[in-house]
Chain A
Amino acid sequence: MSTAPLVSIEGISKRFGKTVALEDMTLDIAHGEFVTFLGPSGCGKSTTLRILGGFETADTGRVILDGKDVTALPPERRAVNMVFQDYALFPHMTAGQNIAFGLELKGMDKGGIRSRLEEIMTFLELTDYADRYPAQLSGGQRQRVALARALAPDPALLLLDEPLAALDANLRAQVQRELKSIQRRTHKSFFFVTHDQQEALAMSDRIVVMNQGRIEQDGTPEQLYFQPASRFVAEFIGDTNLLEGQVRDLADGEIVMDWYGRTLRGRSADAVPSRNAPVTASIRLEKLGVYTDRPDTDNVVPGRVVGKTFLGSRMLLDVAVDDAGEATLKAYVDSDHGRSLGDAPLWLGWDASGMAMLRD
């Protein structure tokens, strides 16, 4: 396999009237990679997907697919297939006819179509439904037919436009695992678009967080979760504590900040801020340790429990920090541990590696 990327998006921009949908976006997708575009509605993730599919034309920039410039090619001439949000199954064709549609148009002979159909329907466990019409299938089955139809012509890149949004919560978790395993077994590049951060974390090799037509951060799920580069990413993915303070010192790859007169240490995934500049730090709830005695961690603050929320296996604590105005930090503890905590003073402690200094 070549080391050249499967897809190169080179500086594409797109405007709809006065609205900027995409601003000078550049991105590579590797062979066999599961890339998720994550962001709120209107962030440009769907526009990127539609430009890759050929349904929109970029105002500037180029799209290179497998070494070929496909920027100006219509959808039917790209080796890219899409799973639509509403699945877009053809209502007057059976599941089998839907899946065979792309194969027929590729000019495959009857025997070839039959064996490919057999293969893909077995692979996705659809053989029992070949003769049913979309109206006779459940939501999950339709979703699989849509996936089979898009995979059947053997595209270089599969585009998925929030294909799980219409499924109910129980089914969704199961389909997430299936989708990830299908992607692994087919070794295809998946370009997945969603606004659901949990979905993105569960399936992706790589997540690209989009905001207002620009890439906020591009990294593995772990990087994005534990080392968010910006406030937007920290807040969009998971729950977090945000601490606003001032940069006091920069040393050994660590940033030392001042927060209500206390010294806290953290790391930055992105640009290093300058001394004395205001800075926001993000620390995940589960990274905060709750101690009755002063712990030996990089960062320590004293406080008092002011709220408890029982969540089953764990408990969410609201801890008011001493001498920090209205500031409270949220932390997760084991339920048994949480129950034993009273009004007595306690300590919150965490290591520098868990705290991310954000760019705004």
Chain B
Amino acid sequence: MNRGNRVLLSCVYWAFVLYVFVPLLLMILMGFKDSKFIGFPIRSWTLEWYQGVFADTEVISTFGYSMAIAALSTLVSVLVGTWIAVLLEGRRFRGRTILFGLTILPALIPGIISAIAFRIYARGLGIEPGMGAIVWAHAVHNVPFVVLVVMARLSTLPKSQVEAARDLGADPLISFLRITLPYLIPSILGATVFCLLLSFDDFIRSYFLGGYEPTLPVLIFAKLRSGMSPEINAIATVALVLTAVIGIWAERFTRRQARESDA
């Protein structure tokens, strides 16, 4: 690569970094501003908004509600997704391509459309809007990601591993539990964190399928309607730090696990 190209490439890289992080930085800064109005200049600083967030029982309970939804929907998607991945990988049967396509489809449908469809379907089935409906919609939406991640890992499991287990006396179930599953753990963990973040972050499905109790993104949206305030920045910053920490930890953990078992 010549010098001109290198300079251009690093310019593009830094432009991208600025583009991604400057808005986040501004949002974080505004959370510390000692004034109700968002915007520069910041004349004095305060932690008042953060104190407000941690004292606000509505925010705290909404946070818990969102986490519970994330945990439940993730549990469902990881179980179903892993099961489908194991079913699809390494086997040739009639209709496999169609089944795979149908599995991936929920990830490709625009959120608003799937949210409306779920709403109509839920009403048709007599399912009340609320936690159950949200968990259901999130789980369906997240299954494809689990399937893709777990299948990718499963495709690298040498066939001889399972054969060796069978050879040594393990029936198909035991060889799955003791050989295949441990091999899949890094990918399952990765998929779990990804699902948690997707669910925690979701607005559209939660908005359409929610009952009276809002999830965190829905609450932020509701608060926005009554006017922008640094309190929202503070809530968003807490959520941002939390998800970033979990995401980075999971990414590193998954990579280390994968490296160890491949070595």
A82 within 8 A of B: yes
> A60-68, A99-107, A284-292: which one contacts chain B?
A99-107
Contact B169 A105 (CB under 8 A): yes
> B5-13, B146-154, B157-165, B196-204: which one contacts chain A?
B157-165
Contact B170 A76 (CB under 8 A): yes
B 158-188 contacts with A by CB, 8 A = 158, 160-161, 163-171, 174, 178-179, 182-183
| Contact pick for A82, options B158, B164, B183, B260, CB 8 Å | B164
Contact A81 B163 (CB under 8 A): no
Residue on B nearest A53 in the bound complex, by CB: B167
Q: What is the CB-to-nearest-CB distance from B90 to chain A, in angstroms, rounded to a whole number?
A: 14
A236 within 8 A of B: no
Contact B182 A88 (CB under 8 A): no
Contact B170 A81 (CB under 8 A): no
Q: What is the CB-to-nearest-CB distance from B245 to chain A, in angstroms, rounded to a whole number?
A: 27
| Contact pick for B163, options A75, A91, A149, CB 8 Å | A75
Taking CB atoms, residues of chain B closer than 8 Å to A89 are 164
| Contact pick for A101, options B158, B168, B261, CB 8 Å | B168
| Contact pick for B260, options A81, A106, A135, A149, CB 8 Å | A135
Q: Given A88-B160, A88-B161, A92-B182, does the pair A75, B167 have CB atoms closer than 8 Å?
A: yes
1/0 contact string of B22-46 vs chain A (CB within 8 Å):
0000000000000000000000000
| Contact pick for A91, options B160, B167, B261, CB 8 Å | B261
| Contact pick for A81, options B168, B171, B178, B261, CB 8 Å | B168
1/0 contact string of A62-92 vs chain B (CB within 8 Å):
0000000000001110001110111011111
B263 within 8 A of A: yes
Taking CB atoms, residues of chain B closer than 8 Å to A90 are 161, 164-165, 179
| Contact pick for A84, options B163, B260, B261, B263, CB 8 Å | B163
| Contact pick for B158, options A74, A80, A88, A105, CB 8 Å | A88
Contact A84 B160 (CB under 8 A): yes
Taking CB atoms, residues of chain B closer than 8 Å to A102 are 168-169
Residue on A nearest B163 in the bound complex, by CB: A55
Q: Given A84-B160, A86-B158, does the pair A92, B167 have CB atoms closer than 8 Å?
A: no
User: Can you name 14 A-B residue pairings with CB atoms under 8 Å?
Assistant: A53-B167, A84-B164, A86-B158, A88-B158, A88-B160, A88-B164, A91-B183, A92-B183, A101-B170, A101-B178, A102-B168, A102-B169, A105-B168, A149-B168
Residue positions of A touching B, CB distance < 8 A: 53-55, 74-76, 80-82, 84-86, 88-92, 101-102, 105-106, 135, 149-150, 153
Contact A106 B169 (CB under 8 A): yes
Contact B164 A153 (CB under 8 A): no
Residue positions of B touching A, CB distance < 8 A: 158, 160-161, 163-171, 174, 178-179, 182-183, 260-263
| Contact pick for A135, options B161, B168, B178, B263, CB 8 Å | B263
Residue on A nearest B171 in the bound complex, by CB: A76
Taking CB atoms, residues of chain B closer than 8 Å to A75 are 163, 166-167
A84–B168 Cα distance when bound, in Å, is 12
Taking CB atoms, residues of chain B closer than 8 Å to A91 are 183, 260-263
Contact A74 B166 (CB under 8 A): yes
Q: Given A92-B182, A92-B183, A135-B263, does the pair A76, B161 have CB atoms closer than 8 Å?
A: no
Contact B168 A153 (CB under 8 A): yes
A84–B158 Cα distance when bound, in Å, is 11
Q: What is the CB-to-nearest-CB distance from B235 to chain A, in angstroms, rounded to a whole number?
A: 41
Q: What is the CB-to-nearest-CB distance from B161 to chain A, in angstroms, rounded to a whole number?
A: 5
Contact B160 A76 (CB under 8 A): no
Contact B169 A76 (CB under 8 A): yes
Query: Which of B160, B166, B168, B174 has the largest number of chain A CB atoms within 10 A?
Result: B168
Taking CB atoms, residues of chain A closer than 8 Å to B163 are 53, 55, 75, 82, 84, 88
A53–B163 Cα distance when bound, in Å, is 10
Q: What is the CB-to-nearest-CB distance from A154 to chain B, in angstroms, rounded to a whole number?
A: 12
A75–B172 Cα distance when bound, in Å, is 10
A322–B169 Cα distance when bound, in Å, is 65
A168–B178 Cα distance when bound, in Å, is 32
Query: Which of A55, A74, A75, A81 has the largest number of chain B CB atoms within 10 A?
Result: A75
Taking CB atoms, residues of chain A closer than 8 Å to B263 are 91, 135
Contact A85 B160 (CB under 8 A): yes
Given contacts A90-B179, A102-B169, 10 further A-B pairs with CB under 8 A are A76-B168, A76-B169, A76-B171, A81-B168, A82-B164, A84-B164, A86-B160, A88-B161, A101-B170, A153-B168
A76–B179 Cα distance when bound, in Å, is 15
A54–B165 Cα distance when bound, in Å, is 13
Q: What is the CB-to-nearest-CB distance from B165 to chain A, in angstroms, rounded to a whole number?
A: 7
Q: What is the CB-to-nearest-CB distance from B183 to chain A, in angstroms, rounded to a whole number?
A: 7
Q: What is the CB-to-nearest-CB distance from A103 to chain B, in angstroms, rounded to a whole number?
A: 9
A85–B263 Cα distance when bound, in Å, is 17
Contact A81 B167 (CB under 8 A): yes
Q: What is the CB-to-nearest-CB distance from A84 to chain B, in angstroms, rounded to a whole number?
A: 5
Residue on B nearest A104 in the bound complex, by CB: B169
Contact B158 A76 (CB under 8 A): no
A75–B174 Cα distance when bound, in Å, is 13
Taking CB atoms, residues of chain B closer than 8 Å to A82 are 163-164, 167
